[in-house]
Homo-oligomer: A and B are copies of this chain.
């Protein structure tokens, strides 16, 4: 059998695991890992896993199931271009980012998307047709951008307080402040924004 010598042992293994995870969205069992890595002893897989765990690439759930660790998704935002060795382009912090969904959505069951209508929030960089990522919750703090329900329609506005009552302030001088009579129904708080331009 062909024996291979990995000098640092790590990087090839990790990449294969990452590719597997990218395809299946799941960490495989030790025996699958063994064939994936070309190893024939589970004991050695166990040892390798331990090292990846030490390095922060793997982790365990409270139920002692193997899962991706904090550094597992480490990856450049912008990859180096096709050619011309330009240096690491401006990605300040080491971002971990699997998918855009993951970047924006913290609690899937409480998150939904709302399409923006009109230009009333244009000074906040929110344009007609943008999608707002909303975390559903019944109340919010002054200053946050909220999605409220006014006249059976979603409205995106800043939440503010005026003489003891809540008001909805647009980010556009051409639009009026909304002072709801009665109770203000808040659908959720803006957690992000998605715009498609092509």
Contact = CB atoms under 8 A, between A and B. Distances in A.
Given A19-B109, A108-B18, A115-B90, A81 B136 contact: yes
Copies of this protein in the assembly total 2
Contact of A67 (B26, B130, B198): B26
A181 interface: no
Interface string A73-99: 101111111111011011110010111
Interface stretch (A42-50, A147-155, A160-168): A147-155
Contacts of A115: 77-80, 90-92
A190 B122 CA distance: 19
A90 B154 contact: yes
B24 A82 contact: no
A112 B74 CA distance: 10
A149 B81 CA distance: 9
A78 B113 contact: yes
Interface string A3-35: 000000000000110110110111111001000
B63 A154 contact: no
A105 interface: yes
Interface of A: 15-16, 18-19, 21-22, 24-29, 32, 61, 63, 65-68, 72-73, 75-84, 86-87, 89-92, 95, 97-109, 111-115, 117, 122, 125-127, 130-131, 133-136, 145, 149, 152-154, 185, 187, 189-198
14 contacts: A16-B109, A19-B108, A19-B109, A22-B108, A24-B65, A73-B99, A75-B112, A78-B114, A80-B115, A81-B152, A89-B152, A100-B194, A103-B194, A125-B125
